[in-house]
Amino acid sequence: MAHTQGATWRNWARTAAASPYRSETPRDLQELSSLVVSGVSGGHQVRAVGGGHSFTPAAVTDGIHLHLDHLSGLESIERFGDGTAHVTVGAGTRLFTLNALLAAHGLAMRNLGDIDKQTVAGAISTGTHGTGARLGGIATQVVGVRLVTATGDVVDVSRDAQPELFELARLGLGTVGVLAAVTLEVVPAFRLEAREEPWALDAVLDGLDELVDGNDHFEFYWFPHTRRALTKRNNRVGDDVEARLNPVRAWVDDELLANAVFGMVNRLATLVPPATPAINAVAARALSARRFVAPSAEVFISPRRIVFREMEYAVPRAELRGVLAEIDGWLRSSGEHVPFPLEVRFAAADDLWLSTAHGRETAYVAAHQYVKMPFKRYFQAVERIMAQVDGRPHWGKMHWLDAERFGQLYPRFADAQRVRAEADPTGVFGNPYTDQVFGARHPQG
């Protein structure tokens, strides 16, 4: 197994760093299990890291840092009569690898987020989601998890086998063990027609229910300091519809406008902050409409080359309009300058204990700030606004909440704390971030 000592690790957004005692890349399940046992016996915490794409220090440790690059790829496919399948992959499989291997078997994920650099384990452990009023996040598509527990044992958990442990294994920040493999429910490959159009924000808000419920995947970006938005409507289409985007146009939209020009916009706003409203007004108007059809994963995923910081809150869908009005009001009165659009997405209510959409139809509001601009004052103002409507922060994005507040926000939070304490009595799978969000010490610790 590959082994390094004392190397510094940093996350994608440069908001978290770690200098672990040891970094290990186990070659197989047996080596992984031995490493967990050695962590327990040596008094070191053990933390797996995925793609490092969380903004929170969720994957940080000064103990043993595990990289599961070798626990990657397809293990098995079980097909069903309705075309769906259960696909088991190594927990360290990157989403881009997963999408490619599913496509090769005529299959696809039902829904995905914006990017594909994460690992399957990392994505589900923080509740990563996309958009779609009838759909849940990636963890809702998990039907089984193979877990290495604090004793080094390997257990397969699901709704039928140790269902409480399964709850935290599929969405629990890696606090009940190291995920070694994940079984996902997937669907036959499908294509999406994407319609992207600039709209007036008020037109979006006035027609919101129709837009959200009338499309398979609806989202919009609101340009702060303006009343403009970019809408995205993605809907399933049959095989007869043919309308691929010309590759030059795709490059202009995805690379030049979304990354290169947008990078310049952010640098300009950093140099001349008071010009931000004017810059945003031009940027929002410069976007042109486009329509294309492509395999689902190509439509869901966009390249993200501009580094930013992000906070994202899940709020009851009915509260969205009020929340956006409050943020608009705060931006006007505070004099804060924000070149980055806010992203608004939607999800169905689900029953996962720690899902941000637990028990309620959800709207997600994501605030971003360019890496070279201060973010704290803006994000803390957004957090205060979200608190008024019992907003729940994304587990992998910036926030300042603690276990006491999570106890008020999640009806099954006490159960989650109990299962964590039972599964990991000595706290081998903990770190300062999990102590912040689940409580500093386990009841029996």
Ligand X SMILES: Cc1cc2nc3c(=O)[nH]c(=O)nc-3n(C[C@H](O)[C@H](O)[C@H](O)COP(=O)(O)OP(=O)(O)OC[C@H]3O[C@@H](n4cnc5c(N)ncnc54)[C@H](O)[C@@H]3O)c2cc1C
Contacting positions for ligand X (CB under 6 A): 12-13, 47-54, 58-59, 68, 91, 113-115, 118-119, 121-123, 125-126, 128-129, 173-174, 178-179, 304, 394, 396
Backbone angles phi, psi at 178, to 5 degrees: -95, 125
CB of 267 vs ligand X, minimal distance in Å: 18
- The smaller minimum CB distance to ligand X, of residues 126 and 234, is found at 126
CB of 80 vs ligand X, minimal distance in Å: 27
CB of 443 vs ligand X, minimal distance in Å: 21
CB of 434 vs ligand X, minimal distance in Å: 7
DSSP state of 162: S
Q: Do residues 194 and 292 lie in contact, with contact meaning Cβ atoms separated by under 8 Å? A: yes
Q: Which residue do the tokens 């914006």 mark?
A: 114
- Return left, alpha or beta for 393; rule: phi > 0 is left, psi -120 to 50 is alpha, else beta: beta
Q: How distant is the alpha carbon of residue 285 from its chain centre?
A: 29
CA distances from 133 to 129, 218, 348 (A): 12, 8, 5
Other C-beta atoms lying within 10 Å of the C-beta of residue 290 = 15
Backbone angles phi, psi at 206, to 5 degrees: -70, -30
- The smaller minimum CB distance to ligand X, of residues 105 and 304, is found at 304
CB of 192 vs ligand X, minimal distance in Å: 16
Which two tokens mark 72?
């990657």
199 DSSP β-pair partners: 229
- The smaller minimum CB distance to ligand X, of residues 139 and 212, is found at 139
- The smaller minimum CB distance to ligand X, of residues 20 and 316, is found at 20
Q: What is the SS3 assignment for 197?
A: strand
Q: Which residue do the tokens 């000592």 mark?
A: 5
CB of 422 vs ligand X, minimal distance in Å: 17
- The smaller minimum CB distance to ligand X, of residues 180 and 226, is found at 180
- The smaller minimum CB distance to ligand X, of residues 174 and 277, is found at 174
Beta strands in 32-141 (DSSP E): 46-49, 64-67, 74-79, 85-90, 107-108
- The smaller minimum CB distance to ligand X, of residues 126 and 231, is found at 126
CB of 336 vs ligand X, minimal distance in Å: 22
Q: How distant is the alpha carbon of residue 419 from its chain centre?
A: 23
